[in-house]
A = this chain, B = another copy of it.
Amino acid sequence: MSGRPTIVEVAAHAGVSIATVSRVLNGKQTRPETAQRVRDAVGVLGYVPDGVGRALKLGRALHVAFAVDDLANPVYTQMMAGVEDGLASRKANLLVSSTGHKEEQLLEFVAGMSDGHADGLIISPLVRTPALIAALQRVPVPVVLIGRVDPEIGLDTVTTDSQRGIDLAFDHLLSTGRRTIAMVGGPVGTAPGRSRRDAYLRACARHEIEPRVVPARAFNVSAGEKAFARLRRGGLPQAVLAANDTLALGILRAALTAGVKVPHDLAVTGIDDIEFARVFSPALTTVSLGAGRRGRLAAGLLLSRMQDRTRPPKVATVAPRLVIRESTAPRGGR
């Protein structure tokens, strides 16, 4: 009486066995009359089948989990939309979690979902520690990682060529006449923070440009604003390559507040091509890393692995694409 009704009470109420109730609810062959009696009982009692009991019996929960570091960064909602799209064929709920940069919370989420509550896992972590990788290898459900890891690890992954992405932005800045190009980098502890910085340093070396990296403490707007202040104290370069779009937008805002004209006094590029990059004024030149496509590919890999858990791991890759807007217009231009 106190808790929710179970199949047993429905059966009693309808005067049938629990087997019959189950059959009716799952559309198996039953006599129309008894089926109706069962449906009535269900209605009267307000019975809703317990998904946990069902999941235990069936071995699947019809849930897929998706974990990212920070849903407040629009690139991740784009990615999520891609995942949803790629999962559309499957009748499964997508459960998202914004775990923050704390490894502990991510591990907790992975543990909490991979314990049978979700049939598959897609994760896109900024920080990829050995502990996390080890945990992912032990996970008892199919898992797809969005990000680059050692292929030896044997995980399905979706990657993007961030080195090439940086080069696209760098070369574009050069082609618009900028010769001093600084980077506002991501947090040093993060994988994209490091790889994008390294790509920048290589580009500098290749073009004999003196590197200058101002690291931000997070991939968000206010960190970008603070980075601009530091950048300015050290003397403004002609261009700044931000490690992602939210940082770049923070830089644009801070430049505006400080009276620094973009693109005339300072050219700015971002990475990710979030929607607000287009909307902002000046519109942000950026490099799309195909977040939506990465999400869709990850979903595809997950589905295929859920069908065949023994196939060799695959790596899907998305090519970066330069999107030229106002924030890097040549100084002579309009």
Contact = CB atoms under 8 A, between A and B. Distances in A.
A108 interface: yes
B98 A77 contact: yes
A111 interface: yes
In this complex, which of A77, A93, A256, A275 has the most chain B Cβ atoms within 10 angstroms of its Cβ? A93
Contact of A115 (B48, B80, B112, B115): B48
A294 interface: no
Contacts of A115: 48-52, 54
A113 B108 CA distance: 19
Contact of A95 (B50, B97, B279): B97
A114 B56 contact: no
A4 interface: yes
Contact of A98 (B65, B80, B256, B278): B80
Contact of A63 (B48, B56, B117, B249): B117
Interface in A139-153: 139-140
Interface string A36-56: 000000000010111111111
Q: Give the oligomeric copy count.
A: 2
Interface string A55-84: 110000111010000011010011011001
Interface in A99-134: 108-109, 111-117
Contacts of A139: 48
Contacts of A72: 74, 77-78, 81, 275
Interface residues of A, number: 53
Interface in A275-317: 275-276, 278-281
B50 A4 contact: no
B93 A112 contact: yes
A221 B138 contact: no
A178 interface: no
A93 B71 contact: no
B117 A52 contact: yes
A116 B275 contact: no
A116 B63 contact: no
Interface of A: 4, 46, 48-56, 61-63, 65, 71-72, 74, 77-78, 80-81, 84, 93-98, 108-109, 111-117, 138-140, 221, 249-250, 252-253, 256, 275-276, 278-281
